[in-house]
Structure 1
Amino acid sequence: MLVEDDPGDANLVRQMLRVSGETRFSVTWVVTLTEAGQRLRAETFEVVLLDLSLPDSTGLATVQACRQVNSVLPIIVLTGHDDVGFALQAIEAGAQDYLVKGSFDEDALIRAIRYAISRASLEHNLAETGTQLRTLINAMPDIVCFKDGEGRWLEANDFDLKLFQLDGVDYRGKKDSELAAYQDFYRDAFLGGEASDEEAWRAEKMVRGEEIIPRPDGMALVFDIIKVPLFNPDGSRKGLVVVGRDITERKRAEERLNLASHVFDTTGEGIAVTDMHANIVAVNPAFTKITGYSEAEALGQNPRILKSGRQDKGFYIDFWRELIARGEWRGELWNKRKNGDIYPQWSTVSAIRNEAGENTSYVAVFSDMTEVQRAQARADQLAWRDPLTGLANRALFLRQVEQTLVSAKREKHFAVVLLIDLDRFKEINEARGLAVGDALLKAVAERFAVLLHEDDLLARLDSDEFAVLLPRLRTSHEAAAREALAVAEKLRTALRDSIEIDGEAMHVEASIGIVLLPDSPEELAVDVVRQADMALARAKAEGGARSMFFEAAMGEKAKSRFQLETELRAAIAGEQLRLYLQRQVDATGKQVGAEALVRWQHPVRGLVPPGAFIPLAEASDLIVAIDQWMMAAVCRLLARLDSEGRALRIAVNISPRHFQQASFVADVRHHLLVSGADPTHLVLEVTEGLMIGDINDVVVKMAALSAMGIHFSIDDFGTGYSSLAYIKRLPIHELKIDKSFIQDAATDQNDAALVETIVAVARHLHLQVVAEGVETQAQADLLNSYGNVIHQGYLYGRPEPVDIWLQHLDGN
């Protein structure tokens, strides 16, 4: 299209194009910019010859107007100005070429047109190629970035921009250090990248390395980065190409592979890998250690080289059937080492399958069970046998008695249990030492054993306590009793001859309790042993060195006691225990603390007083369970009081049996942690008798609990093992004067002097004093005259259920 308002110039151009012999031009002539715009929108042209002096437009604005209509069509400017500066402005405005009217011929014109069309075509192709290349680069899941010789970003693909969250950021022309200001989260990554850029330029060759790039979710990525430096012919820096691939998963896979390889090489379990035909292709060091076959000896072999012959053909048929069907087999195998030793192993064999579900290989993981089985045998020995004598222990004896009870009831015959205690053994043990005592016990066991039948069972139940079970005696009660007494006397007679230990003759006698069984259909083994124990106690009470039968009358009191013990055990589990509290007040009568007490609400007997069940509990493990219940209840109460803003110290009694347990400190810590109670409000009352035992253990436990803030009080002070030495050693905070001193203190000068002395001692040792059993005002006045003493007793209130105590606390 020719845009020219001068007909002469237009005809001249048309004439030049018409005479061209090689190329035929189709020329559309318009005289205004407006008409040119209309024709450009409606038709397709290859080039525009544009005059810059038109009726409706002049100068460079004419080029710009054409460009707005068509941004890619080549434009050749025709002008009468022979001005290089103006020509450059026209080209910058969008023209492809510049011709001065009157200064060009047909060859120059045709050459300019051909050049403009070719250049436009080339630019179009380059643009398309660039678009395709950018599309390709943007589609890559890799970092692609181009930088100039100063390290400024020129181009980056979408992956790179998204990785560093540079979407919408004008990144071009900026260095990494400048981009770090935009994305502070990636600051270290940007600065590290800039440093490695410098290394690439200095190396003057492609460099490769790994770089860590953080992610907002906390999962850092690892990239394999390649940097290619580019240089100008003069050696100056031209640019840098950066390409990076995310190798995070590959690194993790390598780590897993390295870990698996490390486990394979270092695990204590043997591992063998076979191909689909069960030929060994890999073994680990543990395989060699267990089987004795080296790796070279095992590779290529079938696992049958380990076959011991212990399992028959049917076993292996079942083995392969399960392995093929389920893909795994687990169980015990008996295999043979290279040296011929047969050993048990626990094996897991797994099938490795391909994507089609076909078995391609097998992996066997196994452990040598030899030591495990030896340990089990040793454990069984410890569980059922006395380690000193090798005789049956209490657990095995009770089990055999239980079985004998069943058979005796079914077959209607009698059996007998003899409980034997060596008289004066404790004196010999203390005088001669434990080694001599142990030797004596083994000698006694040997003498007893030779006198018994093969079916009889001899056991050692305790230090010097033996037991004998005669499982099959006569069907007549009288005949069975005579036979039992005969055996008992035979055993006692065997001890009349001295026993020589280390050249010294030892003389011992024995007391024996005898019980016939069964006595009743509901009788248990523990009942039988308890009855034998009562008979033994009666024999020792009558002077020892004799045998005594259990009689029904002898057991009535014990049965009643046992019944109460059984019910108490059920009471602890059945929520029949109740928490009671008794107030502790200061000289003004204000409540400053309380003592927690336990009561038993029996469903039939009603409220059972503590004197009826606490001694029973203290004689067994039940006192520990009661302590635990009380500790939990008190800690919950303390936490409640703290949360309600009325914190108060509460004292709870701790039995020596519970305190002496290894888990005592952990138990207390557990209750405090579960309840959320403040340890500084908990007071543990212990008795002086606790100090008679292992004083070092007492010190350690008290110190640990005291460090938590727990206070200790010595209950019933002055009635037992009173010693200023242990008071000085232990972290004690409080002395509790027994009510037996308070009862007559107001009228008895001796008791008053004792109380005054205890208060004075406590004052000098900076200990708090609590007086129990304050029942009269005279007693209270006397205590107040001695100084700061906390009162507890009926004068201020009896022990009351926790709910009522809380109501009174509200009222107070």
Structure 2
Amino acid sequence: KKSWIVIIRDISKRVKMEEGLRLMAKIFENSHDAIMITDTEARIVNVNAAFTEITGYSRNEVIGTSSKFMNSGFHDKAFYENMWRQLQKTGQWCGEIWDKKKNGDVFPKWLSISAVADERDQVTHYVGIFTDISQRKEAENKLISLAHYDQLTGLPNRTLFYEKMQWSVDLANRGHYLVALLFLDLDRFKIINDTLGHQAGDQLLIEVAGRLKKAVRATDIVCRLAGDEFTVVLTQIHGTGEIDRVARKILDSFQSPFTLQDRELFVTASIGAAVYPQDSEDIHGLLKNADTAMYYAKNMGKNTYAVFTESMNRQAHDELELETDLRHALISDEFLLYYQPQIDLTSGQIVGIEALIRWRHPKLGFISPDRFIPYAEQTDLIVLIGDWVLREACRQYMVWMRRGLPPVKLSVNYSGVQLRQSNQLSRLSSILVDSGMNPGNLCLELTESVAMENAENNIKTLHEFKKMGISISIDDFGTGYSSLSYLKRFPIDTLKIDRSFVRDIIENSDDSAIASTIIAIAHQLRLKVVAEGVERKEQLTLLKVKGCDIAQGYYLSVPKCAEDIEQFILEKTQQS
């Protein structure tokens, strides 16, 4: 008889393992993230295709070499020691690191390293996975630049001014120095701007910035606050004699003409100065006193400077008079609302209107909100005025609804003072109930700086608004500072590109790039983008190309009274 011995071996585990290995190999080769495997001595064992694409090194060039060959020199020895210490302790490390590509370019990457151990729990390899975060860093840096530097002159802006001023004050306190704040305003700048145009005005501001920087010491700080308003912070001074010397030097620098549009113009400036700590121990107070001295210099005939004294109290008298007039305006119905339409760039239809306050003073005529709103924000008047605007806008909106107008979004500006009111939710709810307006048709616009002023509390408040059904828009975006981490936490629906970037979007490549960046960031966060201050057809066309959703501005329509905007909406609706 023949005998047979049959040996059967279950290889399902091996097959499963081989399938797993094939899958891992496929993931390794097809991953969009770069993968690098090293031994315990940091020698490269393997890299994938994404590694080659990002760094420029082929697989054959790096196998067997130390991973340290890509070091950029950006990090010190302690950085790498901490990295390896954590790897040995926890088996993992992740973070931002700057390395060098084959072509010599230094680039930022987000790197995650994991230790691989064998069955005896001995580390045999390290796996590093990284992505090139250059574009993200570029976007973040642009936002930081927008937040801290004036995009026209390159000088520190108002936000950075306060930081620099605080630094100067702290330094003065430690060294027993004085700090002088010079507030400079160009004389008759509006005439130049209106006569020669904004482009010439901007060129003048750029040249003024250059002359100011040349007139001061390297330790002094030149800033542009807004428009034609500049500040110079003189650090570590010992007396007012140094203020006199610098102020005269600045005024002397204006003696030579400015060349604008192939013509020579002589431009002068008025300067006011205040000294820390004798004129004020508070930065805002110091700025206010320097501003008061500057207006005193203007009243003296311009092209001069004045150092603040307590006798300069005319401004306080004017402010008291303004407050009285504002309170009368509320009682006497001197305020009225104008409305500016917002146009969808795809359909051409009106999708929103923004309510804009105007003051019809019985003696002075129409007064711009730029003149009275900043002062109202320093008092309780802004709350009363803000309530009036909301109540009147909602009332008028419901009149339009009863007349059959389409239910477009109504945007109303909301101040930081209103946002800080403890009873604001009940006040807002009461206005909506009284008017009968659907909260879903209301959009509150906050400036970027207001939203970030007390970010954590504001996030909670805005979430309460959202629960009511109200939309939230961030106005003047790009002029304040919103980190991406904060921006995505705000329950907002819309970003409004500040008019300063729209104005020169055709001529200025920086403004064009900034607008593109804001639009891209907004769409990544699933937000709509509104461009304000559109005054020319070319601006509108370019914004469409960039993917902007909505636009408003004088090219589309000037702000109109209630009756005229109603007719405008009806005509637009009939056309569509």
The interval holding the TM-score normalised by the smaller chain is 0.5 to 0.7
Structure 2: distance between partners of 1:300 and 1:484: 65
Is 2:89 the counterpart of 1:322?
A: no
- What is the aligned partner in structure 1 of residue 114 from structure 2? 350
Is 2:367 the counterpart of 1:528?
A: no
Q: How high is the sequence identity, in percent, across the aligned residues?
A: 29
- What is the aligned partner in structure 2 of residue 434 from structure 1? 198
- What is the aligned partner in structure 1 of residue 56 from structure 2? 292
Quick one: structure 1 residues 259 and 374, their matched pair in 2 at CA, closer, same or farther if it must change by over 3 Å? same
Structure 2: distance between partners of 1:313 and 1:406: 33
Is 2:129 the counterpart of 1:365?
A: yes
- What is the aligned partner in structure 2 of residue 494 from structure 1? 253
What TM-score, normalized to structure 1?
Answer: 0.40
- What is the aligned partner in structure 2 of residue 546 from structure 1? 304
Question: Secondary structure at 2:264's aligned position in 1?
Answer: strand
Is 2:425 the counterpart of 1:632?
A: yes
Structure 1: distance between partners of 2:72 and 2:415: 56
- Mapped contact 1:614–1:623 kept (Cα < 8 A): no
Structure 2 residue identity aligned to 1:416: A
Of residues 283, 302, 325, the one that matches 2:47 is 283
Q: CA deviation at 1:384?
A: 3.2
Structure 2: distance between partners of 1:676 and 1:340: 53
- What is the aligned partner in structure 1 of residue 564 from structure 2? 725
Q: What do residues 737-760 of structure 1 show as CA deviations (whole Å, max 9, x unaligned)?
A: xxxxxxxxxxxxxxxxxxxxxxxx
Q: CA deviation at 1:368?
A: 4.1
The within-5 A match list for 1:78-117 is none
Larger Rg: 1
Q: CA deviation at 1:624?
A: 5.1
- Mapped contact 1:531–1:555 kept (Cα < 8 A): no
Q: CA deviation at 1:425?
A: 0.9
Structure 2: distance between partners of 1:412 and 1:302: 54
Higher relative contact order (CA closer than 8 Å, sequence separation 6+): 2
Question: Secondary structure at 1:361's aligned position in 2?
Answer: strand
Structure 2: distance between partners of 1:657 and 1:519: 45
Question: Secondary structure at 2:231's aligned position in 1?
Answer: strand
Is 2:172 the counterpart of 1:408?
A: yes
- Mapped contact 2:28–2:48 kept (Cα < 8 A): no
Question: Secondary structure at 2:237's aligned position in 1?
Answer: coil
Quick one: structure 1 residues 301 and 432, their matched pair in 2 at CA, closer, same or farther if it must change by over 3 Å? same
The within-5 A match list for 1:172-191 is none
Quick one: structure 1 residues 412 and 556, their matched pair in 2 at CA, closer, same or farther if it must change by over 3 Å? farther
Structure 2 residue ranges without an equivalent (≥5): 1-11, 324-376, 387-412, 452-458, 471-531, 536-558, 571-576
Q: CA deviation at 1:389?
A: 1.9
Quick one: structure 1 residues 515 and 265, their matched pair in 2 at CA, closer, same or farther if it must change by over 3 Å? same
- What is the aligned partner in structure 2 of residue 448 from structure 1? 212
Q: What do residues 756-791 of structure 1 show as CA deviations (whole Å, max 9, x unaligned)?
A: xxxxxxxxxxxxxxxxxxxxxxxxxxxxxxxxxxxx
Structure 2: distance between partners of 1:628 and 1:315: 43
Deviation larger for 322-331 or 426-435: 322-331
Q: What do residues 304-359 of structure 1 show as CA deviations (whole Å, max 9, x unaligned)?
A: 44356777777666654432332123355554444455555443221122444222
Structure 2 residue identity aligned to 1:552: E
Q: CA deviation at 1:426?
A: 1.3
Question: Secondary structure at 2:380's aligned position in 1?
Answer: helix
Q: CA deviation at 1:288?
A: 0.7
Q: CA deviation at 1:465?
A: 1.0
Structure 1: distance between partners of 2:53 and 2:34: 8
- What is the aligned partner in structure 2 of residue 158 from structure 1? none
- Mapped contact 1:278–1:302 kept (Cα < 8 A): yes
Structure 1: distance between partners of 2:185 and 2:443: 25
Structure 2: distance between partners of 1:622 and 1:673: 15
Structure 1: distance between partners of 2:203 and 2:216: 21
Structure 1: distance between partners of 2:378 and 2:292: 23
- Mapped contact 1:405–1:524 kept (Cα < 8 A): no
Structure 1: distance between partners of 2:179 and 2:298: 23
Structure 1 residue ranges without an equivalent (≥5): 1-244, 475-479, 566-609, 640-646, 678-692, 697-719, 732-812
- Mapped contact 1:408–1:518 kept (Cα < 8 A): no
Structure 2: distance between partners of 1:488 and 1:623: 36
- What is the aligned partner in structure 2 of residue 420 from structure 1? 184
Is 2:262 the counterpart of 1:503?
A: yes
Q: CA deviation at 1:381?
A: 4.0
Question: Secondary structure at 1:401's aligned position in 2?
Answer: helix
Question: Secondary structure at 1:461's aligned position in 2?
Answer: strand
Quick one: structure 1 residues 636 and 380, their matched pair in 2 at CA, closer, same or farther if it must change by over 3 Å? closer
- What is the aligned partner in structure 2 of residue 385 from structure 1? 149
Is 2:30 the counterpart of 1:265?
A: yes
Structure 2: distance between partners of 1:421 and 1:657: 36
- Mapped contact 2:155–2:222 kept (Cα < 8 A): yes
Question: Secondary structure at 2:298's aligned position in 1?
Answer: helix
Is 2:143 the counterpart of 1:396?
A: no
Question: Secondary structure at 2:57's aligned position in 1?
Answer: coil
The within-5 A match list for 1:33-182 is none
What TM-score, normalized to structure 2?
Answer: 0.54
- What is the aligned partner in structure 2 of residue 459 from structure 1? 223
Structure 1: distance between partners of 2:135 and 2:466: 41
Q: CA deviation at 1:728?
A: 2.1
The within-5 A match list for 1:329-348 is 329-331=93-95, 333=97, 335-340=99-104, 343=107, 345-348=109-112
- Mapped contact 2:414–2:446 kept (Cα < 8 A): no
Is 2:378 the counterpart of 1:614?
A: no
RMSD of aligned Cα (Å): 5.1
Quick one: structure 1 residues 452 and 669, their matched pair in 2 at CA, closer, same or farther if it must change by over 3 Å? closer
Quick one: structure 1 residues 260 and 510, their matched pair in 2 at CA, closer, same or farther if it must change by over 3 Å? farther
Structure 2 residue identity aligned to 1:454: A
